Amino acid sequence: PTPSLETPLLRFLKETHARFGPLDEGEVASYIPELGKADPDHFGIAVATTDGHVYETGDTGVPFTIQSISKAIVYALALDTLGAEHVEATIGVEPSGEAFNSIRLRADNKPFNAMVNAGAIACCGLISEATGEAAFEMIRAALGAFAGRTLDVDDAVFQSERATGDRNRAIAYLLRTYGGVRGDVDLILDTYFRQCSILVTARDLAVMGATFANHGVNPVTGQVVASNYAVARTLAVMSSSGMYDFAGEWIYRVGLPAKSGVGGGIVAALPSQLGLGIFSPRLDAHGNSVRGIRTCAAMSESFDLHMLSRR
């Protein structure tokens, strides 16, 4: 590419990539053994605008598992396909203030919200209850529609999480004692583990973010993939709970609805403007990508993206 043709945004992305590239704090997730094999140096930054332009730098074509970022899209899918009332009766919208894998439920035994494991498993349970074996393909199609392409599953990560996922198994069985999930727990967990093992790139995350920012219309494909209601409510829960027990700090500093995953991805959205997708597998103690957080904070500051500071 000719440097003179670079937009200020692309130039900024490259500078930010160079600036945070040397940062080697944090550890690749290894509680799912297969995730421990990730190359810690991978680093990709992508921005997609609501008019369908994508700007990217670094390892934006490298596939990694979406993990918890899937929770946001599956929640939007559940709101749209099962009805908001039904979903909202089963899963709360309060921040938990706890780690993503906390087994604690609210005092009324509902999961706190759909961005932590308990709520995401309950959400998966609702979709499984309504659609049976078809649940996973429906979820895969929804994630693909947000990304604008067909997405594959990393079977090794799926098998690895299934083999070591006792904590999520415990959460699912606890939920079942209160009716928070009903039916076949193994099927629900398989669907959840598979959903987390879907492969995406940083570019995909940027387009997913832009689809959220564009009120449910994928700006690259033009497809309507979610309703404005589902998108707005999902972004609301992402704002309060998308970054786990760092969510308050995040919304204060960065000011964007966002969701992270232990694969090292972060998706963020500025409504009516853009989506951000970052991939860098070294995580901090909350399970959030270290370089991802720094990159989003730098972008928010430089381009005045904080949603509550926009004029």
Quick check: 262 binds ligand GLN (CB under 6 A)?
A: yes
Q: Which of 28, 55, 192, 280 is catalytic?
A: 192
Among 101, 128, 191, 240, contact with ligand GLN (rule: CB under 6 A): 101
- Residue 228 assigned as binding residue: no
Q: Which of 68, 160, 280, 300 is catalytic?
A: 68
Q: For 233, how many CA atoms within 13 A lie in the half-sphere containing its CB?
A: 22
Strands (E), 61-190: 64-65
CA proximity to 113, closest of 97, 100, 99, 94: 94
- Residue 252 assigned as binding residue: no
Our CB check for ligand GLN shows the closer of 49 and 101 to be: 101
Q: Strand pairing partners for 278? A: 45, 266
Quick check: 168 binds ligand GLN (CB under 6 A)?
A: yes
Among 96, 117, 128, 280, contact with ligand GLN (rule: CB under 6 A): 117
- Residue 68 assigned as binding residue: yes
CB 118 within 8 A of CB 103: yes
Contacts of 266 (CB under 8 A, 6+ apart): 69, 205, 258, 259, 260, 276, 277, 278, 288, 289, 292, 293, 296
Size of the site for ligand GLN (CB under 6 A): 11
Rounded Cα–Cα distance for residues 92 and 256 (Å): 21
Site for ligand GLN in 68-97 (CB under 6 A): 68
Quick check: 28 binds ligand GLN (CB under 6 A)?
A: no
Our CB check for ligand GLN shows the closer of 216 and 261 to be: 261
Catalytic residue list contains 300:
no
Report how many helices (DSSP H) and strands (DSSP E) the chain contains, helices first: 12, 9
Tokens at residue 68, please? 């918890």
Quick check: 261 binds ligand GLN (CB under 6 A)?
A: yes
Our CB check for ligand GLN shows the closer of 57 and 168 to be: 168
Segment holding 264, helix H or strand E: none
- Residue 262 assigned as binding residue: yes
Quick check: 293 binds ligand GLN (CB under 6 A)?
A: no
Our CB check for ligand GLN shows the closer of 220 and 278 to be: 278
Tell me phi and psi for residue 129, to 5 degrees: -60, -40
Query: What is the closest distance, in whole angstroms, from the C-beta atom of residue 235 to ligand GLN in the complex?
Result: 19
Query: What is the closest distance, in whole angstroms, from the C-beta atom of residue 277 to ligand GLN in the complex?
Result: 15
Catalytic residue list contains 192:
yes
Quick check: 113 binds ligand GLN (CB under 6 A)?
A: no
Catalytic residue list contains 110:
no
Rounded Cα–Cα distance for residues 149 and 49 (Å): 17
State the greatest distance between any 2 C-alpha atoms of the chain, in Å, as a whole number.
62
| Exposed / middle / buried, residue 309 (Cβ in 10 Å: 0-12, 13-18, 19+) | exposed
Annotated catalytic residues are 68, 71, 192, 244, 262
What residues are designated binding site for substrate?
A: 68, 117, 161, 168, 192, 244, 262
Residues in contact with ligand GLN by CB under 6 A are: 67-68, 100-101, 117, 161, 168, 196, 261-262, 287
What residues are designated binding site?
A: 68, 117, 161, 168, 192, 244, 262
